[in-house]
Structure 1
Amino acid sequence: MDNELERCKPWIEAALEYSGGTHDFSDIVEGLHRGVLQLWPTPKGCIVTEIVVYPKKRVLNVFLGGGELDQILDMHDDVIAWAKAQGCSALTMSGRFGWKKPLKAHGWEAQHASYIKEFG
């Protein structure tokens, strides 16, 4: 995994620029090593996922994504199959507005908008 992680580092770091400062690359490495995050590499991109357990639902959240869009979207069915095997009933993700059109082609719907107010 470490070789793939290093290869994917530029895409992960680029995606982290849009994460609102919640994580840096070392946090991603730690999460992957602890098994709370999952790395999905492709030859020209990757995603990082996490299982989120709510009181009534278990979902696979696509936490980060970077690289060539077609390669990321090509993983769609494999990611869903893995999520189902983990007991998840949905995929979620937060992302830039540019994701709306390509995700819609795969059956995704916008659920809500996210807002943030930084302070302190």
Structure 2
Amino acid sequence: MRIGFTESEYARVRDWLVAAIDTNPDVISEGTLLEKLRFNEWQLLTTENAACVLQLCEHEGERIANVVLLGGKRNGSLREIMGTHIVLCDFLRELKFTKLVGTPRKEWHQFLKQNGFKQQEKEFIKELI
């Protein structure tokens, strides 16, 4: 897992992230995504076959990691994301984050429930403590 934005790494994973944006275009544009990544407001995490964009924030004294986007190589990313999710949660715990949250596409609901996420309306939340 690689953490941090570079133009070259973004170019490598761009198609995956744009495809994720295209599934819900009302939420974010690529221009906004790039601006927030370039100014370190959001963090880019990548693996060989997948990319994730996190917003790290604090709310009511809790450190929360919000999954803004998640995408990957067709027929190559799901297994990798499943394994990387464990590493990501451990990493966030070390940094004293208490929750990992996101609003996933329906295809992800079963995987998230099997991996400790609880659904609250449209959002899925995993307690990290």
TM above 0.5, yes or no, is yes
Segments of structure 2 that go 5 or more residues without pairing to the other structure are 1-5, 124-129
Residue 64 in 1 paired to residue 64 in 2? no
**Residue number in structure 2 paired with 1:117:** none
**Residue number in structure 1 paired with 2:98:** 89
**Residue number in structure 1 paired with 2:59:** 54
Superposition pairs of residues 1-120 of structure 1, within 5 angstroms: 1-67=6-72, 68-113=77-122
**CA shift at 1:42, angstroms?**
1.3
Supply the AA of the counterpart residue of 1:41. Answer: T
TM-score (norm 2): 0.78
* Moved beyond 4 Å, runs of 4+: none
The CA distance in 1 between the partners of 2:45 and 2:98, in whole Å, is 19
Percentage of matched positions with identical amino acids:
24
Supply the AA of the counterpart residue of 1:109. Answer: K
Number of equivalent positions: 114
Segments of structure 1 that go 5 or more residues without pairing to the other structure are 115-120
The CA distance in 2 between the partners of 1:36 and 1:78, in whole Å, is 22
RMSD: 1.7
TM-score (norm 1): 0.83
The CA distance in 1 between the partners of 2:36 and 2:66, in whole Å, is 14
